[in-house]
Amino acid sequence: MRPRRRGFSLIEVLIVIVMVGLLMSIVIPRFRVSETTKARQAADQLVRDLEAARSRALATRSLARVAINAVSGSYTGYLDDNRDGAVAQSAVETSALASFRSRALETDVRIGRGAAPDLPGYAGGGSVTLPNSRVDFDSRGLTTPLGTSGVVYLQSTIDPAVVTAVSVSGAAGIRSWVYLGGVWQ
């Protein structure tokens, strides 16, 4: 008598393949990054970079600047390394900042505000309401000229209804916001 071979039948293998396929179709979409998350991450990165420039101005007792370029979707940091009280926006000053130099926004995020209204307390048209599209921090970490405030709005290029914002208050408070359900949060 011949011994029986053990193994899986074709039906059993097909059932397992179908079950794995169903599980994958449920699990994989959960790993996709939403447009809101991308815009939030870009806003959070801008907040961290602004805080880094502010901290560097405090640590070195000199002027720091972050200049926003809405056309290229990037921003660049500078530090008045020779402490002459002026930022020439040179490569040397970019290198002196040390924490970051120039940063392009994340893929699928641009500087823009779509149909989102003004952030409460920060009236002004456009995607960047900071004077001259930049923020300067003095040696005390305050915005200069004193009381300068404004907002940088970031928008998804995939879903224009997704808008985030980064506000800089007159006292150099930096915060990120997201526009959800018709309300800034």
Residue 34's SS3 state is coil
Give percent of the chain with pLDDT exceeding 70: 97
Mean pLDDT rounded to a whole number for the chain: 91
Domain parsing of the chain, residue ranges: 33-184
Question: Is the confidence at residue 2, as pLDDT, over 70?
Answer: no
CA dist., res. 168 & res. 150, Å (int): 5
pLDDT tens-digit readout, 161-184? 999 999 999 989 999 999 988 899
Q: Look up the pTM and report it.
A: 0.82
- Tokens representing 162? 């997704």
Contact 123, 143 (CB under 8 A): no
Distance in angstroms (rounded) separating the CA atoms of residues 183 and 106: 24
Taking domain 33-184, whether its CATH number is 3.50.50.60 is answered by no
The residue whose two tokens read 């930049």 is 134
pLDDT digit string (tens) for 78-121? 999 888 988 999 999 999 988 888 999 988 999 999 889 999 99
13-36 tens-digit pLDDT: 999 999 999 988 887 776 677 888
51 to each of 128, 137, 138, 144, 150, how far by Cα in Å? Answer: 18, 10, 13, 15, 15
Give me the phi and psi of 150, to 5 degrees please: 170, -175
